[in-house]
Chain A
Amino acid sequence: MTSTGDGRQAHRISGNTRWLVVMCICQLFIMLVFINYSAVLPCCARSGP
């Protein structure tokens, strides 16, 4: 009974870890827009906008 409970908990932790990794990957993709304007600021200041 205890081992089943432990196994279930381990499985859940593993599932949550996997979920968090995918969530972090999502954010990595989404955050590419975050300060992209700063990277092109010199170009924009020269030629607009």
Chain B
Amino acid sequence: MSNTQAGMIFSVYQLGYIVSGVILSTLTDRMNTRFIFISAAFWSAAANLLFALYAHDFTSGMILRALTGIGMGGTYMPGLKLVAERFDPSTRGRAIGIYVGSLVLGASLSLAFTGWLTGIAGWRTAFICCSVSVCIGALISCFLFRGYRPLVRVRTEAGFSG
């Protein structure tokens, strides 16, 4: 595989991430955000696992990585919405800052953890472990969002209330 093809697999992931970010964020206004967040997390875990097991050439790698990006796009903004809904305006900024900080930390750990594990057990094993990690996160979030009810906002002349 050429360097260009390897780079394209990364690019198509970002493309899937952007497209699903826009679509799924919009859907949070109409559907239960908890459902979108958890489904997207499991989706990305499954796609990443399939990548580890079945990505053998450029085409399969590109398709499976795009599917992973689609899943990941459904966790970022919906997660942000869940945090924003949970906190009052007086503490919302700090909560979102901490949450976004954990996202960036997770992205950094993604590189460090995968790189470290690849050196020990190979990249396919590293990817499988990453999928297991996503499943753990998604399962914890199932319990965390138990009893979640979406905020109902009423549009007034001054904007949205609540």
Residues of A with Cβ closer than 8 Å to B? 13, 16, 19-20, 22-41, 43-45, 48-49
Complex Cα distance A30/B135, Å?
Answer: 8
Chain B residues with CB below 8 A from A13, complex form: 91
Complex Cα distance A42/B162, Å?
Answer: 49
Contacts between chains A and B (CB distance < 8 A), count: 147
Min Cβ gap A30→B in Å is: 4
User: Which bracket fits the contact residues of B?
Assistant: 35 or more
Chain B residues with CB below 8 A from A22, complex form: 140, 144
Residues of B with Cβ closer than 8 Å to A? 1-3, 6, 9-10, 13, 41, 44-45, 48, 55-58, 60-61, 65, 68, 72, 75, 79, 82-83, 86-87, 91, 95, 98-99, 101-103, 105-107, 109-115, 118, 123, 126-127, 130-131, 133-134, 136-138, 140-141, 144
Q: Is the interface of A mostly helix, strand, loop or mixed?
A: helix
Establish whether residues A20 and B127, one from each chain, have CB atoms under 8 Å apart when the complex forms.
no
- B137 touches which one: A16, A26, A36, A49 (CB < 8 A)? A26
Min Cβ gap A1→B in Å is: 21
Chain A residues with CB below 8 A from B130, complex form: 32-33, 36
Establish whether residues A29 and B140, one from each chain, have CB atoms under 8 Å apart when the complex forms.
yes
Chain B residues with CB below 8 A from A43, complex form: 118, 123
Chain B residues with CB below 8 A from A34, complex form: 72, 106-107, 110
Min Cβ gap B113→A in Å is: 6
Complex Cα distance A16/B88, Å?
Answer: 10
